[in-house]
Structure 1
Amino acid sequence: MSSNSDSSNSFDASGLVAFLYVWRKPLIIVSVAAAILSAVFSAPFFIKPKYESRVILFPGSTSSISKAVLNESAGIKNDILEFGEEEQVDQLLQILNSDDIKFRIISKYNLMSHYDIDADGSYPITKLNKEYDDNISFRRTEFMSIEIKVLDIDPDTAAMIANDISNLLDTAKNRMQKDIAVKAFEIVKTEYDGLTTYIASIKDSLKRLGMLGVHDYKSQSEVLNRQYAEALAKDNQSAIKTLTEKLDILAKYGSTQMSLAYNLENIYEEVFPIIKRKYDEAKVDATETLPHKFVVNRAYPAEKKSYPIRWLIVLISTLSAFMLAALVILIRDNVGRLTRQA
């Protein structure tokens, strides 16, 4: 049984070799013709060569400037010098694919004209988006970095687009964060301004009480009562009258002075530090910016084209033509044999 199988395989192999030898001329002619035609039609005259430029970057680990710079309890997760993780990579990829960045690049480089798309023709925006997606791509690498890849017929344009997209990444993310940060700052500022106004009113009231001679109820009452006792002991009517007036004023406004002073002290110890910290953090987030990426490699103009790969086109075309020609000859040969037998 094994010998029959081996002989059958040997027969099939020898039959294939014999078949190829018999039909070698047409197979060679078809293969050579396919190679020549594919080489011609993959030339720059038919297919414009494209040059590739890449930017490699890592995302930052933090989005909040205040938490990274001002907040001492933020911890290592908000270290501005740390590379981001998978979550930050996915966020930046989503921003890179946003219409904001796409429309800015399309507008700056006039890609509608650059890609030879007729603006008055059918579906120009659809064609433009397809060309954009075909020539500009973003992906996460195995090292958790992001690759921005741009193909263009002009190597300088490819490099400039790739670098501009990298720069616009910060612009787009900062704009989105600023929209929220500014509103948050306005809320905190209103609270902070209200508190400072309230503090100013307390200080103004204490100043008015000071002009009346009420500075510190406890210490003043002790001193004045002691002086009053001494004046009574000496029967100093002038001093008694003066001290009585001061004690009356102190009795009238003393509780108010104590309440205001206690309230002010409580605000400065407990409330004001919290509101002031929130205010400082919100102001930094609303007015300052930080890069959200670490650029490993910036794009530069390529010296050699990346598309099309002519040798690969020629190889695939030649092999495909050879196999198709062999299949056609085999089918024709078998059909002819069956016809003759009939």
Structure 2
Amino acid sequence: MSSPTYSLLGLWPVINRWKSLVLGALLLAMVVSAVVALMLPNIYKSTTVFYPTNPQTTDPDRIVSEGGKLELGGRTEDLDRVITIGESQPVAEQIIKRFKLHEHYKSGPVGNDGADQAALDEFAGNLKIVHNDRDAIELTFEDKDKILAARIANALVQSIDSVNQQLTLANRRKVLELYAQRRSFLEREYKATYDSLIAGRRRYGIYGLTLESRYLAKEIIETEEELRRAEGEGNSSKAAGLRRALRGLTKTDGGNIFNLESYSAGFDQISTLFARFTDLQNRLISARSAYETARVGISGRISSIYVVQEAYPATKKSKPVRWLVVASAVLITFALSVAFITLLELYRGNLSMGRTR
């Protein structure tokens, strides 16, 4: 004996027989869903739109030293980096702490693992960051408080900007320390070389006068010529004075500060010290300039994003759509009711067939 078949058209008689139950279920679903929909809080969303800039063009060191200019970055890596930062847990925890969202979400006390995770989950559910078709970033935040939603959206942009700068310029303080160490090292070497140069000049009598060696040679030649002339004339007293003068010009123990023996002994050393002193002086000037430029650069904060539109409080709610809630509940109830009464009819039909046999 063949089993009975059923079709969609065959459901109408079944529904008609159980219409009281179906209508009652639909009416109950409508009333309950309407009450629930009315109890649901209004949710508002605020959206901010911004472009990330090329991180290389926001480096203050390059702007100060090279005269660079800001460039909007539509590169994939820039967009991905900004979205990753915005969805990161440190940024979320910072915003949750700043706006006391544990209390706002009623998730529990701060420091409790379950409460912290609940606040993070609700925060992440209310946040949406997407890359739109114009290579801009759209950041949307939803909340029951429309003013709070706008404030959080704008604060998120600021946090993203701050973290992005830290990522881009993470090593600048270390670089500044290297500049400071180089400057200190050159200052010590400069002072030591300067002291050595002064000591050498005092010891050897070489002070860097123009044509110093030429004047010394001229005096020696002239004094020696006068000595020979005095000796030839038999003027012993004059010759003795000229000998002493000649000794003073040629010997260290002759009494003259500037003499040929000291000059010859110290010329190479003083020349080397003076060359090193000049080199250190130039390097020290450059090191001081580089340190000052780096210090000015690290104290400056240049935004790494360009905000096209700030977030403003919404003028109307984004959800819930209350009529849709009611309509969905009614449709689902109707489908479940039809399924229930169909299964019930099948069960009764099978039961009747069994009794007939």
Q: Answer whether TM exceeds 0.5 for this pair.
A: yes
Q: Distance in 1 between matches of 2:211 and 2:43?
A: 87
1:303-324 Cα offsets, whole Å, 9 max, x none, are: 1112222233233223222222
Q: Percent identity?
A: 21
2:351 counterpart letter in structure 1: T
Contact 1:39–1:310 (8 Å) recurs in 2:
yes
- Are the counterparts in 2 of residues 61 and 88 from structure 1 also a CA contact under 8 Å? yes
User: 2:300 aligns to what?
Assistant: 288
Are residue 69 (structure 1) and residue 30 (structure 2) matched?
no
The equivalent of 2:323 in structure 1 is: 311
1:55 alignment partner, one of 40, 48, 53: 48
Q: Which amino acid aligns with 1:254?
A: F
Superposed CA offset, 1:32-56 (max 9, x none): 543443232111xx22212111222
Q: Which moved more, 1:244-253 or 1:151-160?
A: 244-253
Runs of 5+ unmatched residues, structure 1: 1-10
293-302 vs 175-184, which moves further: 175-184
Counterpart-to-counterpart distance in 2, 1:213 and 1:145? 73
**Please, which of 74, 98, 111 is the counterpart of residue 108 of structure 1?**
98
Query: Is 1:327 the equivalent of 2:302?
Result: no
Seen in structure 2, the aligned counterparts of structure 1 residues 169 and 123 have a Cα distance that, compared at 3 Å, is: same
Letter in 1 for 2:83: L
- For residues 58-207 of structure 1, the aligned pairs below 5 Å read 58-62=51-55, 65-72=59-66, 79-83=69-73, 85-119=75-109, 123-174=114-165, 180-207=171-198
Secondary structure of 2:125 counterpart:
helix
TM-score, structure 2 as length reference? 0.74
Match of 1:34 in 2: 29
Q: 1:323 to 1:196 in 2, by over 3 A?
A: same
CA shift for structure 1 position 103: 3.2
- Map 1:208-219 onto structure 2 (within 5 A): 208-209=199-200, 213-216=205-208, 219=211
Of 310, 328, 337, 1:298 maps to 310
1:99 is displaced (CA, Å) by 4.3
Whole-Å separation in 1 of the counterparts to 2:34 and 2:264: 107
Q: Is the 8 A contact 1:58 1:83 kept in 2?
A: yes
The 3 A distance-change label for structure 1 pair 150 and 85 is same
Q: Give 1:225's aligned amino acid.
A: A
**Alpha-carbon deviation of 1:165?**
1.8
Residue 213 of structure 2: aligned partner: 221
Distance 1:275 1:17, change over 3 A: farther
Rg larger in structure: 2
**What is the alpha-carbon distance in structure 1 between the residues aligned to residue 40 and residue 198 of structure 2?**
85
Query: What RMSD, in angstroms, separates the aligned Cα atoms of the two structures?
Result: 3.7
TM-score normalised to structure 1 length: 0.77
- Between 1:147-156 and 1:100-109, the stretch displaced more is 100-109
Aligned-pair CA distance for 1:26: 5.6
Alpha-carbon distance in structure 1 between the residues aligned to 2:346 and 2:281: 101
In structure 2, distance between residues paired with 1:66 and 1:204: 38
- Cα distance in 1, alignment partners of residues 314 and 128 from structure 2: 17
Unaligned runs of 5+ in 2: 1-5, 230-241, 251-255
Structure 1 stretch displaced more, 149-158 or 217-226? 217-226
Query: Offset at 1:234?
Result: 5.1
The residue that corresponds to 1:7 in the other structure is none
1:47-68, Cα deviation, whole Å (9 max, x unpaired): 2212111222222211662453
How has the CA–CA distance of structure 1 residues 242 and 90 changed in structure 2, closer, same or farther, with 3 Å as cutoff? Answer: farther
Distance 1:67 1:286, change over 3 A: closer
Which segment is superposed worse, 275-284 or 83-92? Answer: 275-284
- Stretch deviating more after TM superposition (275-284 or 126-135): 275-284
Aligned partner of residue 41 in structure 2, secondary structure:
coil
1:267-282 to 2 correspondences below 5 Å: 267=280, 272=284, 275=287, 279-280=291-292, 282=294
CA deviation after TM superposition for structure 1 residue 298, in Å: 0.9
